[in-house]
Structure 1
Amino acid sequence: MQFLIVDDHDLVRETIAAFLDHEGIANVETAPGLEDALEKLAATGGYDLVLLDYDMPGMNGLAGLMQVQSANNGRPVALISGTASPEVARMALEAGAAGFIPKTMPSQGMASAVRMMAAGEVFAPYSFLRQADTSGGPDLTNREREVLRGLCAGLSNKEIARELGLQEVTAKLHVRTLSRKLGARNRTHAATIAKDLKLG
């Protein structure tokens, strides 16, 4: 598999590459900026995973993420950052990022996250995503918690609606709201987050 790390700080870029190499992940290339990354993507046709620094010149917020996603031909692109907020991480996931990795993550955890995202999974450290939430967890209504328990049990919207005495369209709206509150890309991701937070 081929990986690309894009960061404008030489030390950070090379340290992450060394982390991954130490954990047995070979075939890691690097680029010092967005334009260099786009050139490499055009020349190679894409990578199995691109780790993209959020804080580089020219990124223009999540616009740079979308550029790289397009240039990588639909293959995974994840953000890495030492300064981005949990809200930025959530927005990146909603925009289709394969994940979000804080630069403070230990090398072993980073390697596991890279393997997971390269395999098509979504990764984000939920403890980081919860930092902006002073209650220590998402603010869910009682009904949303009931719907979430149904999600965690693997029930369809129709089954959740029947169990709770709701219209199916109402259950579907609750699932959509839950996904937004949890920073999840879909119902399966929402259930995974809920289990991690012991909500379901």
Structure 2
Amino acid sequence: MQILIADDHDLLRDTLVAFVQAAGIDVVTAPDLDGAMTAVEAQGPFDLVLLDYNMPGMNRLEGLTRMMALKSAPRVALISGEAPRVVVQEAIAAGAAGFVPKTLPAKSLVNAVRFMAAGEQFVPLDLLAPTEQSSHPLAKKLTKRELQVLRGLTDGKSNKEIARDLDLSEPTIKLHVKNLYRKIGAGNRTQAALLAREQKLF
């Protein structure tokens, strides 16, 4: 199996590559859409192409459409540090092989890659199912970014990991953590995570 991973964030791209290669999958990389299309034409066909939604050249879903038009890229999916529901739905409607959040654990990421390369469609259930999160009493107290940080805390991630997932600095995450503690009445990250779980926010 050979896949292409296109992402302009060097560290994150290298991390994704390490996960996938460790599972015995051959990987080619590119830093932007033009590089990805050139790689597909020169080194394809690929079993799967993963495109970062926010990298240079993508222009929202236009990049996805352009890539899917190439014969050597029959299976194309999006990856993103954030996963807006409307983008997921639009990508799937356009024929994408799936939508992969960069927050997926390594094992889940590899499973998703294999799943999509085999011809299936992969989208986390929480991105397709209707959500009542925005009307949740706890969610109403927090900004969108604070909710994302709280989700990271609930998943047991460190500030450094959350910063990497959201492409923010660690001091910025610390500030969000401090603010959300105050808003929901938590004294530490464990309390915050427990509150979110007990109230079934995620």
Bin the TM-score by the shorter chain. Answer: 0.5 to 0.7
Answer yes or no: is 1:98 the counterpart of 2:110: no
How far 1:44 moved relative to its partner?
Answer: 2.2
Aligned length: 134
1-side partners of 2:66 and 2:125: how far apart? 26
Q: Deviations along 1:108-140, whole A, 9 cap, x unmatched? A: 00111100100000000012333x62179xxxx
Q: Which residues of 2 match residues 182-193 of structure 1 at below 5 A?
A: none
Structure 1: runs of 5+ lacking an equivalent: 137-200
Query: Which letter maps to 2:34?
Result: E
2-side partners of 1:116 and 1:28: how far apart? 16
1:117 maps to 116
Structure 2: runs of 5+ lacking an equivalent: 135-202
SS at match of 1:121: coil
1:140 maps to none
Q: Is the 8 A contact 2:4 2:29 kept in 1?
A: yes
Q: Is the 8 A contact 2:44 2:73 kept in 1?
A: no
Query: Which letter maps to 2:131?
Result: D
2:140 maps to none
Q: Is the 8 A contact 2:33 2:58 kept in 1?
A: yes
What is the TM-score of this pair, normalised by structure 1?
0.63
2-side partners of 1:100 and 1:30: how far apart? 18
Q: Which residues of 2 match residues 20-99 of structure 1 at below 5 A?
A: 20-22=20-22, 24-73=23-72, 75-99=74-98
Q: Is the 8 A contact 2:40 2:72 kept in 1?
A: no
Provide runs of 4+ in structure 1 moved above 4 Å: none
Query: Which letter maps to 1:116?
Result: F
Q: Is the 8 A contact 2:41 2:72 kept in 1?
A: no
**What's the RMSD between the two structures over aligned residues?**
1.7
How far 1:99 moved relative to its partner?
Answer: 0.4
Percent identical pairs in the alignment equals 49
Answer yes or no: is 1:134 the counterpart of 2:132: yes
